[in-house]
C-alpha cells in the first residue's frame, strides 16, 4: 500500500494516510525506527510491526501517566502493569524503562505516604506501617522512614480525643470513653495511652444527664405512671450515666 501523506500531530504522534483509505496512528519512535518518512509504501508485514509497536507505546504512555499522576509504590505500578494487554517481554521492558527513569522508588513513596497519613488521617503509626506492609514495602524502608521522622503520636492522639470530647453533646462519659477506646484501638493506638488521655481530659457530664433526663421523662411519662422514677433511672443508667448523679434528688 502506498503512503499518501504522513502528518505530525501533538504528543509525539504521527498520522499515516494510505492510498486504500486506511489511517495508521503511531509514534515518532516507530516512525524513526522504520524510517517511515522516507518510505513510499508499506507491506502487510511492516504494517503488523507498526501496529504492534504502537500498542506497546500506547500502554507505555498509559502507565507513564499513571505513575506521574502521583507517587506510586512498586506494588501498585506492578499491578497496573499486569492489567495491561502486554506480553511478559514488553512488561519487563517497560519496568526497566521506568526504573531507568527513577520512577520505581519505594523510599520516596514510603516517606510521602507516612507524612500524608500521619498529618491528614487519624491513623496511628502502627496502622500506617501495616498498610505499607500490605503494599509489599520492605520493612527496613518503613522503619527507616518512621525512625527518621519527628512525629509525636501522643500529641496527635491527644488532639483527636480532645476534639471528640469537646464535640460530644449527647453521650455519657462511660459510653463515650468506650466508643473512643474502640475507635482508636482499631486505628492502631495503644489502649493504655487512649485511656490516659481520655481520663486526663474528660468533662463532667451532669449537664448532659439533665438534658437526657428531660427527654426520657417526656417520653416515659406518656406511657407509665407507676414506678416512673424507677423506669427513668433505669433508662439513664443504661445509657452510661453515673449512678450517683442519677440518684440526686434534684432530678426528681
Residue 69 — pLDDT band, cuts 50, 70, 90? very high
Domain match, 193 and 212 both: no
Number of domains in the chain: 4
CATH code of 22's domain: 1.10.10.10
Evaluate whether 122 touches 160 at the Cβ level (below 8 Å).
yes
Higher local confidence (pLDDT), 131 or 217: 131
Residue 13: closest CA among 49, 38, 50, 40: 50
CA distance 141 to 150: 16
Domain match, 19 and 39 both: yes
Domain match, 118 and 181 both: no
Judging by beta carbons within 10 Å of its beta carbon (0-12, 13-18, 19+), is residue 181 exposed, middle or buried? middle
Domain match, 81 and 14 both: yes
Domain match, 31 and 88 both: yes
Reported as a single tens digit per residue, the pLDDT across 158-216 is 999 999 999 998 888 889 999 999 999 999 999 999 999 999 999 877 677 777 777 87
Would you say residue 249 has pLDDT above 60?
Answer: no
Domain match, 10 and 87 both: yes
CA distance 33 to 50: 10
Domain match, 29 and 60 both: yes
Reported as a single tens digit per residue, the pLDDT across 15-29 is 999 998 899 999 999
Domain match, 113 and 180 both: no
pTM, entire model: 0.76
Parent domain of 242: 206-251
Average pLDDT, the chain: 90
Amino acid at each position: 500500500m502506498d503512503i499518501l501523506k504522513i502528518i505530525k500531530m501533538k504528543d509525539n504522534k504521527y498520522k499515516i494516510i494510505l492510498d486504500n483509505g486506511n489511517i495508521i496512528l503511531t509514534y515518532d519512535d516507530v516512525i524513526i525506527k522504520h524510517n517511515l518518512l522516507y518510505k513510499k509504501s508499506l507491506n502487510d508485514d511492516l504494517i503488523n510491526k507498526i501496529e504492534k509497536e504502537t500498542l506497546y507505546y500506547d500502554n507505555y504512555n498509559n502507565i507513564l501517566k499513571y505513575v506521574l499522576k502521583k507517587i506510586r509504590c512498586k506494588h501498585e505500578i506492578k499491578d497496573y502493569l499486569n492489567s495491561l494487554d502486554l506480553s511478559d517481554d514488553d512488561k519487563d521492558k517497560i519496568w526497566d524503562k521506568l526504573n531507568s527513569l527513577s520512577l520505581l522508588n519505594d523510599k520516596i513513596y514510603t516517606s510521602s505516604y507516612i507524612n500524608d497519613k500521619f498529618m491528614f488521617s487519624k491513623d496511628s503509626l502502627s496502622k500506617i506501617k501495616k498498610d505499607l506492609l500490605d503494599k509489599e514495602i520492605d520493612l527496613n524502608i518503613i522503619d527507616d522512614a518512621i525512625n527518621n521522622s519527628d512525629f509525636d503520636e501522643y500529641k496527635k492522639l491527644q488532639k483527636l480525643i480532645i476534639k471528640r470530647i469537646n464535640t460530644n453533646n449527647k453521650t455519657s462519659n462511660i459510653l463515650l470513653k468506650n466508643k473512643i477506646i474502640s475507635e482508636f484501638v482499631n486505628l492502631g493506638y495503644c489502649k493504655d495511652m487512649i485511656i490516659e488521655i481520655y481520663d486526663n481530659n474528660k468533662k463532667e457530664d451532669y449537664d448532659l444527664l439533665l438534658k437526657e433526663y428531660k427527654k426520657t421523662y417526656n417520653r416515659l411519662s406518656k406511657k407509665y405512671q407507676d414506678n416512673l422514677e424507677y423506669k427513668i433511672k433505669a433508662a439513664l443508667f443504661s445509657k452510661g450515666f453515673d449512678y450517683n448523679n442519677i440518684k440526686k434528688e434534684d432530678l426528681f
